[in-house]
């Protein structure tokens, strides 16, 4: 594998060199057999297994998104002439789409897949702090995911095809499980029979999330290499750290909320259900205390990926490193103070409404800082339009627009008009889907050569990304207008005046599907037929690019010494060998100086 440069141990600092691993011995080929994967303690293999799982969940959630959009093509029932069955089908579909996408795709996508793969290598470590826990977390995820999907999907299959899957209750509460609908004490209790099983699934998934968070926090604290102070960590690590803090502090509240809901249904303990003495608004406090920070579990790691990608592919030191790092932590902490903005019309007190509205706006500022810093990073750069970079720019478009539309929702009087409408649907899809999906894709394209040792095809990848961008805006821009005009969400049928918007939206969804399939084929093609990737195809300077592609089982034979992760000028393109070469002299100089080039 001549294309692989020998592992550079640290930034050219004199370190004892060990022989390179034998040709072809990387984590993929290190051991064989399905069991060597399923029970692997190697964070890279676990990351790849998460990738497969998360993409499967995305496929299922995506199929149901298309079914939803197709059902909404006309105001009347589309798939089934019986109205009651058609509405039930629609309600089951949107619940499945939302729940699968939130719990199984958006939350784990970046931390569990990309985080697991790159975090230890970025730390110059051999693995995460607790590899067994990491595997346990993966199995919790798989167990929870299969259980959860089975319950939700089973109901739809049973109803649509007359199957009799045992325990396939289906669920139509939406991913929010609002009481008392979900506690089923009221009429139509049978329609929420799936709550118990689905909540158990969520509980198990929560464990997965918590264990990953514990692992990442311990790893970042304890495994940083020599030379990597807190303010020399790659911003991806800051983002993952902030994400883990949220996972640790918020997820247990989801767990207890789930347990309380279970207790309501199973043993009749009334905390949330008014029929047995509870209060539904209290449930919403509990639920959003987790679920609002959970939005930041989704977006923070995405921001980390974007910081890496923009800097690397613009070949510029990231602008305002400290501001980006601090804003990650600020967002993580502030995210716990804004949960009530989901409850402005629910009967929450005006005082709490005012407090939460004010605090909500405070989160807008660190988010804005990040956007400005990313754009400034591009200034006077040497920008390469790799697919990762194109996806990152799409992310900026999505996130700017999605984030700014949040201003409507933070403002109390406007929120009251548009909450519970398609405006909300469009807003959170821009942030949670548009942004996170593009960041996830940017990360995949950025690290794909590292993961599999293969380069992706530029033209097809960019075409896919741009198709996705067009499709996405086509889908969700009309939803903003619909929402502002008063079209409520979760409606299986709607007044005819909205049909035009729905048709455009549905067409957009199909365009998105085309874009995503293009990307999927592009990645698969790279996997099978792609050009062999060098150790550092982008000339990046974070530590994962200092080890071969794909990395060997142990990542680094000797712990490397870290320098400034964004010192891209140390890598020079060598036209003769067609690869990036480390300028050791310069690296040594930079490693000995301040982490950033600012001077006070």
In the bound complex, what is the minimum distance in angstroms from residue 59's beta carbon to other proteins?
25
- Pick from 26, 291, 307, 353 the residue near other proteins by CB under 8 A: 353
Instruction: Report d(CA 533, CA 316) in Å as an integer.
Output: 22
- Pick from 15, 63, 73, 130 the residue near other proteins by CB under 8 A: 130
Closer to other proteins by CB, 55 or 235: give it. Answer: 235
Interface map 88-107 toward other proteins (x if CB under 8 A) = x--x----------------
In the bound complex, what is the minimum distance in angstroms from residue 382's beta carbon to other proteins?
3
List 571's β-bridge partners, or say none. 582
Locus of tokens 């300028």 = 583
* Site membership for other proteins, residue 217 (CB under 8 A): yes
Closer to other proteins by CB, 1 or 41: give it. Answer: 41
Q: Which two tokens stand for residue 549?
A: 């592609």
* Site membership for other proteins, residue 500 (CB under 8 A): no
In the bound complex, what is the minimum distance in angstroms from residue 231's beta carbon to other proteins?
8
Instruction: Report d(CA 246, CA 216) in Å as an integer.
Output: 12
DSSP 188: T
In the bound complex, what is the minimum distance in angstroms from residue 287's beta carbon to other proteins?
11
- The residues in 356-375 that bind other proteins, with binding defined as CB under 8 A, are 357-358, 361-362, 364-365, 368-369, 371-373, 375
Strands (E), 449-596: 571-574, 579-582
- How many angstroms separate the Cα of 403 from the Cα of each of 305, 320, 367, 533? 17, 20, 8, 36
Tell me which residue of 597, 600, 594, 599 sits closest to 563, measured CA to CA: 594
- Pick from 1, 56, 160, 494 the residue near other proteins by CB under 8 A: 494
In the bound complex, what is the minimum distance in angstroms from residue 178's beta carbon to other proteins?
6
List 572's β-bridge partners, or say none. 581
Query: Do residues 112 and 141 lie in contact, with contact meaning Cβ atoms separated by under 8 Å?
Result: yes
Interface map 390-429 toward other proteins (x if CB under 8 A) = ---x--xx--xx--xx-xx-xxxxxxxx-xxx--------
- The residues in 269-288 that bind other proteins, with binding defined as CB under 8 A, are 269-271, 273-282, 285-286
Interface map 218-257 toward other proteins (x if CB under 8 A) = xx-xxxxxx-xxx-----------------xxxxxx-xxx
**CA atoms within 13 A of residue 559's CA, in its CB half-sphere:** 12
* Cis before 550? omega within 30: yes
* Site membership for other proteins, residue 39 (CB under 8 A): no
Closer to other proteins by CB, 531 or 554: give it. Answer: 554
Instruction: Report d(CA 476, CA 208) in Å as an integer.
Output: 31
* Site membership for other proteins, residue 490 (CB under 8 A): yes
Provide DSSP, 49-101: HHHHHHHHHHHHHHHHHHHHHHHTTSSS-SS-SSHHHHHHHHHHHHHHHHHII
- Helices 131-161/195-222 angle, 10° precision: 160
Query: Do residues 107 and 526 lie in contact, with contact meaning Cβ atoms separated by under 8 Å?
Result: no
Instruction: Report d(CA 297, CA 303) in Å as an integer.
Output: 11
Q: Which two tokens stand for residue 113?
A: 């897949």
Closer to other proteins by CB, 3 or 337: give it. Answer: 337
- Pick from 37, 193, 488, 581 the residue near other proteins by CB under 8 A: 488
Closer to other proteins by CB, 234 or 410: give it. Answer: 410
DSSP 457: P
Tell me which residue of 365, 401, 411 sits closest to 480, measured CA to CA: 401
In the bound complex, what is the minimum distance in angstroms from residue 221's beta carbon to other proteins?
5
Closer to other proteins by CB, 58 or 191: give it. Answer: 191
Q: Which stretch binds other proteins (CB under 8 A): 104-112, 160-168, 315-323, 435-443?
A: 315-323
* Exposure class string for 384-403: b at 16+ Cβ within 10 A, else e: eebbbbbbbbbbbbbbbbbb
Interface map 134-163 toward other proteins (x if CB under 8 A) = ------------------------------
Length reported for the chain: 600
Closer to other proteins by CB, 58 or 296: give it. Answer: 296
Closer to other proteins by CB, 130 or 460: give it. Answer: 130
- The residues in 549-588 that bind other proteins, with binding defined as CB under 8 A, are 554, 559, 566
| Contact partners, residue 187, CB within 8 Å, separation at least 6 | none
* Site membership for other proteins, residue 445 (CB under 8 A): no
Q: Which two tokens stand for residue 12?
A: 């050219």
Closer to other proteins by CB, 35 or 84: give it. Answer: 84
* Site membership for other proteins, residue 473 (CB under 8 A): no
In the bound complex, what is the minimum distance in angstroms from residue 528's beta carbon to other proteins?
28
What are the backbone dihedrals phi and psi of residue 572, each rounded to the nearest 5 degrees, phi first? -115, 140
Interface map 169-208 toward other proteins (x if CB under 8 A) = ---xxx---x-xx---xxxxxxx-----------------
* Site membership for other proteins, residue 317 (CB under 8 A): yes
Neighbour-count burial of 52, counting CB atoms closer than 10 A to its CB (0-12 exposed, 13-18 middle, 19+ buried): exposed
In the bound complex, what is the minimum distance in angstroms from residue 517's beta carbon to other proteins?
26
């Amino acid at each position: 594998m001549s294309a692989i440069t020998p592992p550079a141990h640290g930034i050219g600092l004199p370190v004892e060199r060990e022989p390179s691993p034998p040709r072809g011995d990387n984590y993929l080929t290190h051991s064989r057999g399905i069991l060597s994967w399923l029970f692997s303690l190697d964070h890279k293999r676990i990351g790849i297994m998460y990738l497969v799982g998360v993409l499967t969940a995305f496929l299922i959630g995506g199929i149901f998104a298309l079914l939803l959009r197709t059902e909404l093509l006309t105001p009347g029932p589309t798939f089934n002439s019986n109205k009651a069955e058609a509405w039930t089908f629609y309600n089951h579909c949107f619940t499945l789409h939302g729940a699968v996408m939130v719990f199984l795709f958006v939350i784990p996508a970046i931390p569990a897949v990309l985080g697991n793969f790159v975090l230890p290598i970025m730390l110059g470590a051999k693995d995460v702090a607790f590899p067994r826990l990491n595997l346990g977390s993966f199995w919790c995820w798989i167990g929870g995911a299969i259980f959860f999907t089975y319950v939700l999907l089973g109901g739809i299959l049973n109803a649509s095809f007359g199957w009799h899957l045992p325990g396939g209750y289906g669920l139509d509460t939406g991913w929010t499980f609002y009481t008392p609908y979900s506690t089923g004490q009221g009429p139509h209790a049978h329609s929420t029979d799936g709550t118990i099983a689905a909540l158990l699934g969520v509980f198990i998934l929560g464990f997965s999330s918590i264990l990953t968070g514990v692992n990442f926090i311990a790893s970042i604290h304890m495994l940083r290499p020599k030379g990597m102070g807190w303010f020399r960590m790659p911003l991806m690590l800051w983002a993952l750290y902030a994400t883990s803090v949220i996972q640790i502090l918020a997820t247990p509240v989801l767990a207890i909320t789930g347990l309380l809901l279970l207790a309501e249904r199973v043993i009749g303990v009334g905390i949330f259900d008014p029929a047995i003495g509870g209060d539904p608004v209290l449930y919403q406090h509990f639920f959003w205390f987790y679920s609002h920070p959970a939005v930041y579990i989704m977006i923070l790691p995405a921001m980390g990926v974007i910081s890496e990608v923009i800097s690397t592919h613009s070949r510029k030191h990231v602008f305002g490193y400290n501001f980006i790092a601090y804003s990650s932590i600020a967002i993580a902490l502030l995210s716990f103070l804004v949960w009530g903005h989901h409850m402005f019309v629910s009967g929450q007190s005006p005082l709490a409404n005012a407090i939460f509205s004010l605090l909500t706006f405070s989160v807008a500022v660190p988010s804005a800082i990040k956007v400005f810093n990313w754009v400034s990073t591009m200034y006077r750069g040497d920008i390469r339009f790799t697919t990762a970079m194109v996806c990152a720019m799409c992310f900026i478009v999505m996130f700017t627009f999605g984030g700014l539309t949040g201003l409507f929702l933070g403002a109390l009087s406007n929120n009251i008009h548009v909450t519970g409408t398609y405006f909300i649907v469009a807003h959170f899809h821009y942030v949670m889907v548009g942004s996170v999906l593009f960041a996830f894709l940017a990360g995949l394209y950025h690290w794909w050569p590292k993961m599999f040792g293969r380069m992706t095809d530029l033209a097809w990848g960019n075409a896919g990304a741009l198709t996705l961008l067009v499709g996405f805006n086509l889908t969700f821009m009309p939803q903003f207008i619909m929402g502002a005009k008063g079209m409520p969400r979760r409606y299986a049928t709607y007044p005819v005046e909205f049909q035009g918007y729905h048709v455009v939206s549905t067409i957009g969804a199909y365009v998105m599907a085309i874009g995503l399939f293009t990307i999927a084929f592009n990645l698969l093609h790279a996997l099978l037929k792609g050009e062999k990737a060098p150790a550092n195809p982008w000339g990046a300077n974070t530590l994962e690019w200092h080890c071969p592609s794909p990395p060997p089982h142990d990542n680094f034979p000797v712990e490397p010494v870290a320098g400034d992760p964004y010192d891209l000028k140390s890598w020079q393109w060598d036209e003769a060998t067609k690869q990036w070469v480390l300028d050791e002299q310069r690296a040594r100089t930079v490693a000995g100086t301040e982490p950033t080039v600012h001077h006070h």
